[in-house]
């Protein structure tokens, strides 16, 4: 008698029965498809996944994932995910959020999740616009962006998500593009296996309110010269290896490899200093190619692991506390009023 091997979960297992409702052609469809392809590769039972979202088009993500999930309020996805992971460290927690949700009202929560290094995965869909509320400029919109809310052009300098993450002492940052499915899966797998907070910025096209914002990175005629695919231990090359990136006096420079060779071309180091990662993360059009891939991946203390260990130690030393004793302890007092007299 022979037995057939039990196959693991597939993408179909992570597809919910809800009809996916985004605008036709939206980049969110591609992100959803790649997440559903990635999660089965992790060898984790489906019931141990949780997807948390905030407000915006990305907020619909939990409805389309056949996992546990929660559609939270504006800007609070990272905070809710932090609480969930702290109370259920056995879960694989994923956050789906947008540039408005995560960097405007939710900027504070995003920053603190990153500095705490709790073991969650944040997918930041960056389309440089408020899509769900019909095309207002967002924290990542470029200066001069003409929208319904900025008819004469926005005056704000944009937030650079990965730079903000590095300033928050993030241990893992990466960037990918909705129209690069294989690259996205590779990045998501790296993020999932990282211990601590991972932040993956996904350049996502909003074809209704900000169409072709990243066309220079996706069009066949320009993508080779505009994408800098970074890989640990490999030189920073682009334009089919004809050009490279070096650094002189902390400033990025473009090196003509065909003319000058590889001398001066920097070797990518995911574990290098923050200053280097900041310089790579901030490379962008029109003067430089845009870095995509894993830019920083370092080890650091993981918040939920340390919290669990601290609680276990406290219980071992003092036993489990009682709420009544805490509320009536020495650090409480009664305020007397004239009604008491």
Contact 199, 173 (CB under 8 A): yes
Alpha-carbon distance 226 to 219, whole Å?
Answer: 10
Q: Take residue 333 and report the two structure tokens written for it.
A: 């007092």
Which pLDDT does position 317 carry in this prediction?
85
pLDDT digits (tens, 9 = 90+) for 291-336: 999 999 999 999 999 999 998 998 888 887 787 877 777 777 777 7
> In degrees to the nearest 10, what's the CA dihedral of 140, 142, 143, 148?
-80
CATH of domain 11-213: 3.40.50.970
Q: Is the dihedral of CA 183, 32, 7, 93 positive or negative?
A: positive
Model pLDDT, residue 6: 55
Residues of the chain with pLDDT under 50: none
pTM reported for the whole predicted model: 0.92
What local confidence, expressed as pLDDT, does residue 259 receive?
A: 94
Query: So where are the chain's domains?
Result: 11-213
Q: State the pLDDT at residue 243.
A: 98
Q: Can you spell out the DSSP letters for 62-111?
A: HHHBSSEEEE--TT-HHHHHHHHHHH-TTSEEEEEEEHHIIIIITHHHHH
First to last CA, the chain: 87
At 4 the pLDDT is 53
**CA 298 – CA 170 distance, rounded (Å):** 9
pLDDT of residue 340: 59
DSSP line for 21-75: -S-TT-THHHHHHHHHHHGGGGT--GGGEEEEE-SSGGGGHHHHBSSEEEE--TT
Tokens of 12: 């179909």
Give pLDDT, residue 9.
Answer: 84
| CA–CA gap between residue 248 and residue 152 (Å, rounded) | 38
- Provide the token pair at 161: 């998500």
């Amino acid at each position: 008698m022979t037995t057939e091997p039990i196959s693991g979960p597939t993408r179909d297992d992570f597809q919910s029965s809800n009809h996916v409702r985004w605008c036709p052609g939206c980049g969110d469809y591609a992100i959803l498809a790649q997440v559903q392809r990635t999660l089965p590769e992790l060898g984790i039972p489906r019931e141990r996944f949780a997807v948390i979202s905030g407000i915006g088009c990305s907020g619909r993500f939990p409805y389309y994932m056949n996992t546990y999930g929660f559609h939270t309020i504006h800007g609070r996805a990272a905070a809710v995910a932090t609480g969930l992971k702290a109370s259920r460290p056995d879960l694989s927690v994923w956050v789906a959020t947008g540039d408005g949700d995560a960097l405007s009202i939710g900027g504070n929560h995003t920053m603190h999740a990153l500095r705490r290094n709790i073991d969650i995965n944040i997918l930041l869909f960056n389309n440089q616009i408020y899509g769900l509320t019909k095309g207002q400029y967002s924290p990542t919109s470029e200066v001069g962006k003409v929208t319904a809310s900025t008819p004469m052009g926005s005056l704000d300098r944009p937030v650079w998500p990965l730079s903000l993450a590095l300033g928050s002492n993030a241990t893992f940052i990466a960037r990918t593009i909705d129209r690069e499915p294989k690259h996205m899966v590779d990045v998501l797998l790296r993020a999932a296996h990282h211990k601590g907070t991972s932040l993956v910025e996904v350049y996502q096209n909003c074809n209704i309110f900000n169409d072709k914002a990243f066309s220079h990175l996706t069009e066949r005629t320009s993508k080779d010269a505009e994408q800098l695919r970074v890989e640990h231990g490999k030189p920073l090359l682009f334009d089919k290896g004809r050009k490279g990136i070096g650094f002189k006096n902390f400033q990025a420079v473009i090196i003509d490899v065909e003319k000058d060779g590889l001398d001066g071309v920097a070797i990518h180091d995911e574990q290098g200093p923050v200053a280097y990662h900041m310089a790579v993360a901030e490379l962008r059009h029109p003067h430089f190619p845009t870095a995509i891939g894993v830019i920083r991946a370092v080890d650091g203390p993981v918040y939920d692991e340390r919290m669990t260990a601290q609680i276990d130690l406290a219980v071992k030393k003092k036993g489990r506390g009682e709420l009544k004793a805490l509320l009536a302890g020495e650090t409480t007092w009664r305020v007397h009023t004239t009604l008491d007299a």
